[in-house]
Amino acid sequence: MNILLLGHGKTGSVVAEVARQRRHQVRVLSGKENVHARALTHDKLRDVEIVLDFTTPNAVLENIEACVASRKNMLVGTTGWHSALPKVRELVEAAGTGFLYGANFSIGVNIFLETARAAAAALQQGYFGQIMERHHAAKKDAPSGTAVVLQQLMSEVGGAELEITSFREGDAAGLHEIILDSPNDTIRLEHDAKSRQGFAEGAIRAAEWLSGKSGFFDFKDVWRVL
């Protein structure tokens, strides 16, 4: 595929490397080259098959609007913008393009989310819960998108909204932990990313899956078929 990658930060750099390893053509645009999505014109997107966004919450919506206007399929790994999902879905469906987003493109994290869904039953059995997440110091949003998804699913299944504690320090790739505590015992569920490789591999596999498709997709619903 001919991929345009928006963002060349910690995760974006690994995404570009994995894409090239899988024999895709990759062009990278940094934030400085694409202020207010000005580089995403019809002419400059002409030969692009899919756009991957790993930028920042304050840039992603303008990028989405520009890419959808040019009817380009798009995968978004940026978090911190999901309150605008209904608006984006309308744009994508009106354009007839393909769009895939995710709070986290790691297969391991998505298995962790399924495990957390099962464990949420503890909240209806007298357990008290909390969520902790730790990421690198440069991460823009807090809490992380994954922590927010964890909070939502625990609330949906367990009926209680858990407090999230966020840490931003060093070069941590991403750690998420759920603690469920009772007078009798403690349940701990943890996913600790060793590197950003798992996120990048999941994103490129998802982009390959999205190629040629139209529709609005959440990674948590499609990762099993990649």
Domain 107-192 has CATH 3.30.70.360: no
Report the 10 Å Cβ neighbour count for 38.
Answer: 11
Catalytic residue among 135, 176, 191, 220: 135
pLDDT of residue 204 exceeding 90? yes
pLDDT for position 128:
97
Question: What is the average per-residue pLDDT within 207-211?
Answer: 97
pLDDT > 90? residue 10: no
Mean of pLDDT values over 165-173: 93
Q: 135 catalytic, yes or no?
A: yes
- Residue ranges per structural domain of the chain: 2-105+197-225, 107-192
The catalytic position among 139, 176, 191, 220 is: 139
pLDDT at position 9, please? 85
| pLDDT reading at 209 higher than 90 | yes
- pLDDT computed for residue 141 by the predictor: 86
Contact 74, 51 (CB under 8 A): yes
pLDDT band at 78 (very low <50, low <70, confident <90, very high): very high
Give me the pLDDT at residue 139, please: 87
Compute the C-alpha angle 88/75/48, nearest 5°: 105
Average pLDDT, the chain: 95
Four-point Cα dihedral 87, 88, 90, 95, nearest 10: 150
In DSSP notation, 104-162 reads ---HHHHHHHHHHHHHGGGGGTT-EEEEEEEE-TT---SS-HHHHHHHHHHHHHHS-PP
Q: Does residue 203 have a pLDDT over 90?
A: yes
Task: Convert the pLDDT of each residue in 110-135 to its tens digit.
Answer: 999 999 999 999 999 999 999 999 99
Q: Do domains 2-105+197-225 and 107-192 have the same CATH topology?
A: no
Element (H, E) at 26: strand 25-29
Reported confidence tier of residue 138, pLDDT bands at 50, 70, 90: confident
- Across 80-91, average pLDDT: 95
CA pseudo-torsion sign 211, 209, 83, 30: negative
Architecture of domain 2-105+197-225: 3-Layer(aba) Sandwich (3.40)
**pLDDT, mean of residues 44-63:** 96
pTM of the model: 0.88
8 A C-beta contact, residue 69 and residue 7: no
